[in-house]
Amino acid sequence: MAKPPVGVIFDADLGNSIDAPLALALLYGLDGKNEARVVSTSVSKHSLASAALAEVIARFYAGTVNADFGSASRSLPVGMSIAGKSPESTPFLNAVLDRKNPEGKPVYNHGIVQLNDTADVLAVIRNAFTSQQDQNCVAVLAGPATNFAAVLALPGAKALIAQKVRALVWAPGRLGLDPAAAQKLLAEWPSPIVVVSPELGDGIRFPAAALDSQFNWTETHPVVDAYRAAAPMPYDAPTGALAAVLYAAKPEGFFTLSPAGTFSLASQSTLAFKPGPGTHHLLQLDPAQKSKVLETYLALASAKPVVRQPRRRRTDVAKPDAVKPDAVKPAEPPKP
């Protein structure tokens, strides 16, 4: 049986930089075209608002998050770090979550009000890996490595990742928030790591003008609202996280990889790459592909939600298992 499209386990410090929400939009665009599956989403910001934005975006795309757990396919809740990193709210989180309609009600609904509306982030990420076919998922990380590094400490996690994960694609922003996690990730992550450099992210900018030209099919789009609030308009946003998602789903046709080598933490906030033995690579862009990449970003990130039937069974009525009828056992004779 053919494997389903690649599953993406997405983790970001959602709320700190606009490329992460754009990347989520792009990811759901790929999911809608059946070119990737959103398996889990988690945030490394210790912030309910950050988790709420992830859920708002998931709901906007009609709940296509699908961990595909089998007999009752279902979505995983949003995992949130409670490691205390970057807990502050940000203008674009507030802009999305506080937007009200003329009746004074929130435009974007979500179910995250208190801590226990979020999920244990380690369990979410680990459980997402367990649900995937071997070598058929990619971990995408935008921001600090807090969550993925913590998952590595779970017993059996490294073997599980080696079995399930094709690669980790990392757009490493704000490393200074958790340099120890970055160090651990680079030293211990068992699959190949592909790093998106800041230069690549800066090299292709997401044009502000696209908000009017590409997203004009709706007046309420959480990612558009986030974009407008993230910095004084107009500005063109860097696209490091988008590159990570696009490469995760489509490793051919857009980017190339550097020769193998090893990344290490050069300072509290920068990585250094040393070619040689190793399983790390730098993601590279062929200048000739630049316009194609940008067009793809725009087309996928602005794609309309696709309403479709779950890939497998309905979630509310799982097919009963074939439990065998009770064995009939003859009664023991009375004891003398």
Residues 6, 18, 56, 76: which binds another protein (CB under 8 A)? 76
155 near another protein (CB under 8 A): yes
Residues 33, 62, 72, 135: which binds another protein (CB under 8 A)? 72
How far CA 196 is from CA of 160, 258, 281, 320, in Å, comes to 24, 11, 9, 46
CA dist 270 and 265 (Å) reads 6
Helices (H), 73-178: 91-98, 121-130, 146-152, 157-164
320 near another protein (CB under 8 A): yes
For 27, residues 6+ apart whose C-beta sits below 8 A from its C-beta are 8, 10, 36, 38, 140, 245, 249
323 near another protein (CB under 8 A): yes
Q: Is 37 exposed, middle or buried (0-12, 13-18, 19+ CB in 10 A)?
A: buried
Q: Between 222-230 and 48-60, two packed helices, what is the crossing angle to 10 degrees? A: 140
Q: Which neighbouring-strand residues pair with 255?
A: 285
Q: In angstroms, what is the minimal distance from the CB of 325 to another protein? A: 6
Cis omega (within 30 of 0) for bond into 234: yes
Residue ranges in 109-148 that form contacts with another protein under rule CB under 8 A: 115-120, 122-124, 126-127, 130-133
Count of residues that bind another protein according to CB under 8 A: 47
Residues making up the chain, counted from first to last: 336
- In the complex with another protein, the residue whose CB is nearer, 288 or 323, is 323
Q: In angstroms, what is the minimal distance from the CB of 51 to another protein? A: 11
Residues 33, 74, 99, 250: which binds another protein (CB under 8 A)? 74
Residue ranges in 264-303 that form contacts with another protein under rule CB under 8 A: none
- In the complex with another protein, the residue whose CB is nearer, 116 or 309, is 116
- In the complex with another protein, the residue whose CB is nearer, 67 or 169, is 67
Q: In angstroms, what is the minimal distance from the CB of 210 to another protein? A: 35
